[in-house]
Amino acid sequence: MTRSSRIAIIGAGLGGATAGALLQRAGFEVRLYEQAQTFERIGAGIHVSANVMKVLRLLEAEKRLSSIGIHPDTFTSRKWDTGEILFELPLGSLGERQYGASYITVHRSDLHAAILEKVLPDSVEFGKRLADVKIDRGIAQLSFADGSSAEADIVIGADGVNSRLREAVVGPRKARFIGAVAHRAIYPSSLLDGLEVRNCTKWWGPNSHILIYFIEQSRNEIYLVTSAKGEWRSPASWEYCDRDEVLRAFDGFHPEVRTVIERAPQLTKWPILDVEPLEKWTEGPLVLIGDACHAMTPYMASGAAMAIEDAAVLVRCLVQSGDQATAFGLYEATRKPRVRKVQQISAENTFLRLPTDPSWVFGYDAATIPLGAYTP
């Protein structure tokens, strides 16, 4: 691929920003088009596992994020009612030696900011919602809802679960509601009034679960995220919810869980969506990454990780290939088997419940994985 190729990235979230930063480091001409008017500090935590930290290392962002997030000593799985420990995965320095990088939990916005600051600031355009894309003699013609337009030799669709570019690649393919909702809250840990809470715990119930962890080294903020059966009829992507609704969903759970919910000043509710596996991720000059092509349940805490890995592998393919078709073929061949395995196991919601070796997830290195061959 020539460095003069014009590359447009639709979406400047975690995957899009990673792709943009890595492409610019490789000398490509890149513009990112983000539909939001600005990025807000949305109330969500995120797991940054070793496989993601290795990509941040490529961006020279690993140290900064590592200094912000908390390094849990274990990931603990506990039974929903008795609190019995089902499994403890050692992390901390032991995990760092085993997987090649550290494992942290952090505010999602801090992860995004650490990546986005590696993108040239004048290369990001806000308020650009993609309305249409047409291909004319191999060139993508992009039209945006504000009436503006752009051309690109390559278009990377990083526009999320409701991707507009996905439709241009495979036709109409809507995200699916899986019949479950997630409740979220972030709040000062001082509101726990001294309640002892481990750094990172997943409580497993018969038909629901809740994950509770800190998102700062200071342990000043705590985050909870749940999954419980529910309905979703709202056209909005999320809404506020009543604390009693969440407590009813977790009736009978251990007192520690119920206390963490009770102390939350405000809770939100989100539909859990996925996308049925696509037969292809590319079409002509168009290529999809992240949720645009493989949105998955959040039960392995790996959706963002897969998007960031996608970005790193795609950039390697573009750098090392002589033409676009070869690059895209290598990208799909390298990423599809891994992503489909993660999608399947995430949907089963069994990962780390009982003794598990997660080396195939956390040990993955997008910078060195052989291109075009499946290495789990």
Q: Which residues sit opposite 253 in a β-bridge?
A: none
- Kindly name the residue from 33, 47, 112, 183 that is annotated as catalytic: 47
Residue 213 is a catalytic residue:
yes
Q: Which residues sit opposite 273 in a β-bridge?
A: 177
Angle made by CA atoms 121, 127, 142, in degrees to the nearest 5: 95
Encode 325-361: b = buried (16+ Cβ within 10 Å), e = exposed: eebbbbbbebbbebbeebbebbeeeebbbeeeebeeb
Residue 47 is a catalytic residue:
yes
Q: Which residues sit opposite 85 in a β-bridge?
A: 78
d(CA 82, CA 69): 30
Q: Which residues contact 22 (CB under 8 A, 6 or more apart)?
A: 58, 59, 311, 312, 315
Angle made by CA atoms 348, 353, 106, in degrees to the nearest 5: 95
- Short-list 83, 29, 20, CA closest to 289: 20
d(CA 134, CA 19): 22
Hunting for tokens 């939990």 — which residue is that?
Answer: 105
- Kindly name the residue from 213, 223, 299, 364 that is annotated as catalytic: 213
Cβ atoms of residues 307 and 20 within 8 Å: no
> What are the φ and ψ backbone dihedral angles of 56, each rounded to 5 degrees?
-60, -30
Angle between helices 303-320 and 324-348 (to 10 degrees): 160
Q: Which residues contact 376 (CB under 8 A, 6 or more apart)?
A: 337, 338, 341, 360, 364
Q: Which residues sit opposite 268 in a β-bridge?
A: 184, 240
Beta strands in the chain (DSSP E): 6-10, 29-34, 45-48, 74-79, 85-90, 104-107, 124-126, 130-136, 139-144, 149-152, 154-157, 176-188, 200-204, 209-214, 221-229, 239-241, 267-274, 282-283, 286-288
Which are the catalytic amino acids? 47, 213
